[in-house]
Every structure is written in C-alpha cells, then in structure tokens.
Structure 1
C-alpha cells in the first residue's frame, strides 16, 4: 500500500492536533492539572474541556475533579494505559509513514513523478 494512503488510516481521535498534543503531554508525566494543559496547548477552557471529554469517553484519559481545602476546585488529568499505547502507536505509525515516503522520494529523485510511478 502507498504510504500516502496509510495517512488516511491513522486513528482520527488521536491524530486531531489538539488531542495529539494533550495525549503527548500526558504521556510524559503522571498527571497534569487542567490549567497546565490549557497553558501548554494554548486551547481555550471550553475547547480543552471538549477534547478532554472525547478522550475520556474513549477511555484514553481519566479526569478527576476535586476541591482543595474544600474551596478551590482542581481538575487533574491522567493518561490511561490504553491512552499511552494509542499515542505511542500513533507516533510510530507517523514515523513509519514518513520513512516510507522518504524512501519513495529517494527512489524517484531524478524522475518526474506521475500517477503510474506511484502505483
């Protein structure tokens, strides 16, 4: 199969840029506070909440909402084992596709690329 067609087979839940940023950040730590993720990703509160809800529904993350000293709300987010596996698999797929495209490009370096060359 052509490497370009493999791009269409990527997990769209994980591949969406904001969710990929969230999952990648969470894969590097034990847990993160909502406000930290918001600052890190540059997303608005509503947008971040929406993406987190999708990831939680897919069981890729766990969200914990609680109060500090009974007054200060705090939301923390943790990646699940399934989420960690999904983001690792995604980055490996992208790297594999990228290598295949580079190899194909090197193979066709001094040629005019046409439809027949790619099939």
Structure 2
C-alpha cells in the first residue's frame, strides 16, 4: 500500500520511532528496556534508521559513564507521520 515505509514497518523499528516521537532524545539503555530487546538488536535497528536519516545518534558521558543518545530527525518524524496515515487508511478500508 502506498505510504507504508518498509524501513519503519518492522515492529521493533515502529516502536522505536514511536517512542522517540514523544521525546527530544532518549538514552540507549532506556530504549532497550522499553522495547525489551538486546543491545545488539537495538544497535542494528538504530544503525539502519541512522543510515536512512530517520534518527540521529550521539555519544556523551552521563553520570560518569559513556552513554548513547538517540533522537528522531525531522525526516524521521515525517516518515512516521506518513506511515501512520497509511496504516489508518488501511484500517479504514477494513471497516
């Protein structure tokens, strides 16, 4: 269906961009816990979304330890909005 974005359609990626849409940025460990995935799984999804320009990742020191922060880019927000609109059209067609 037109508008569905295969990159963010996978459940874990959709959960990730949805979670990021509610905040300015989130700590990697917080996202890992929220999505209930391993570090390697989350890292793979973040990398794919960074490559697409949908999320941004930065490293810093927080509470004395290295931390990775992830945020949704404007392109990622648009992609999520368009994907959700396509899902709504799909759902409306069922009713």
TM-score normalised by the shorter chain: which range applies? over 0.9
Post-superposition offset of 1:57: 0.3
- Gaps of at least 5 residues in structure 1 are 1-5, 103-119
Query: Are 2:33 and 1:39 aligned?
Result: yes
Q: Secondary structure at the residue paired with 1:29? A: coil
- Compare relative contact order (CA 8 Å, sep 6+) and give the higher one, 1 or 2: 2
Structure 1 match to 2:90: 97
Query: Are 2:66 and 1:76 aligned?
Result: no
What is the TM-score when the length of structure 1 is the normalising length?
A: 0.75
Post-superposition offset of 1:10: 2.0
Contact 2:4 2:82 in 1 (8 A): no
**Cα RMSD for the two superposed structures:** 1.5
Per-residue displacement from partner, 1:67-103 (whole Å, max 9, x unpaired)?
A: 237x51011001000001101111111011110121x
- C-alpha distance in 2 between matches for 1:26 and 1:10: 19
- C-alpha distance in 2 between matches for 1:30 and 1:45: 21
What is the TM-score when the length of structure 2 is the normalising length?
A: 0.93
Q: Which runs of 4+ in 1 moved over 6 A?
A: none
